[in-house]
């Protein structure tokens, strides 16, 4: 319950501060430099030369029906809000492409590593199989020699010779 009250008070204080900033933005109308330096919550509309609070809930001034993006200046007077929006969009696209490139590079690298691991495992299994077969052949030759020796000792004819 205490957290709900604290959160409610913070929201109320934020709305009071925003409405206080609204009054400050209107005081700086007429000059772009004064408006954008006053607060980042203000933007300057060059078509009607009015400093307004930025409509954060609507997203852009055009959605609020106040000013065209080409005429709106926020944070700087030399670049309009349309260019800022385009640059931010390009930056986000480049960031997304960089992230996807890194993901693809890591995926390919890990895939190659896994392929090498599987190849090493297959080579190891092949070597072990060849070793087992060689040992088997040696033991088979030893058994045959032992049996042949026993047959010779007891005078039993070799079945293969018949």
Indicate the SS3 state at residue 39. Answer: coil
- Closest residue by Cα to residue 20 from 51, 53, 44: 53
CA atoms within 13 A on the CB side of 11: 6
Per-residue pLDDT band for 157 (boundaries 50, 70, 90) equals: confident
Per-residue pLDDT band for 7 (boundaries 50, 70, 90) equals: low
| pLDDT, greater one: 51 or 2 | 51
DSSP letter for 155, please.
Answer: T
Distance CA 56, CA 136 (A): 81
Per-residue pLDDT band for 81 (boundaries 50, 70, 90) equals: confident
pLDDT at residue 64, rounded to an integer: 63
Residue pair 53/22 in contact by the 8 Å Cβ criterion: yes
pLDDT at residue 74, rounded to an integer: 84
Tokens of 28: 């700086």
Residue pair 75/69 in contact by the 8 Å Cβ criterion: no
Question: Measured in whole angstroms, how far is the alpha carbon of residue 29 from the centre of its chain?
Answer: 43
pLDDT at residue 22, rounded to an integer: 47
pLDDT at residue 124, rounded to an integer: 94
Tokens of 34: 């004064």
Indicate the SS3 state at residue 8. Answer: helix
Task: Print burial letters for 29-38: b (CB count within 10 Å at least 16), e (below 16).
Answer: beebeebbeb
User: Is it the case that residue 17 has pLDDT exceeding 60?
Assistant: no
41-64 tens-digit pLDDT: 888 888 888 888 887 777 666 656
């Amino acid at each position: 319950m205490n957290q709900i009250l604290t959160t409610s008070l913070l929201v109320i204080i934020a709305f009071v501060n925003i409405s206080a900033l609204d009054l400050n933005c209107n005081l700086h109308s007429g000059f772009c430099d004064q408006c954008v330096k006053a607060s980042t919550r203000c933007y300057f509309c060059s078509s009607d030369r009015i400093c307004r609070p930025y409509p954060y809930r609507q997203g852009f001034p055009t959605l609020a029906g106040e000013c065209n993006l080409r005429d709106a200046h926020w944070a700087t007077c030399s670049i309009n809000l349309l260019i800022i929006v385009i640059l931010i969009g390009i930056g986000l696209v480049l960031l997304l492409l960089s992230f996807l490139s890194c993901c693809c590079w890591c995926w390919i690298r890990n895939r190659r590593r896994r392929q090498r691991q599987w190849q090493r495992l297959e080579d190891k299994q092949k070597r072990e199989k060849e070793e087992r077969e060689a040992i088997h052949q040696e033991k088979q030759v030893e058994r045959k020699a032992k049996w042949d020796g026993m047959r010779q000792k007891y005078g039993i004819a070799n079945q293969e010779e018949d």
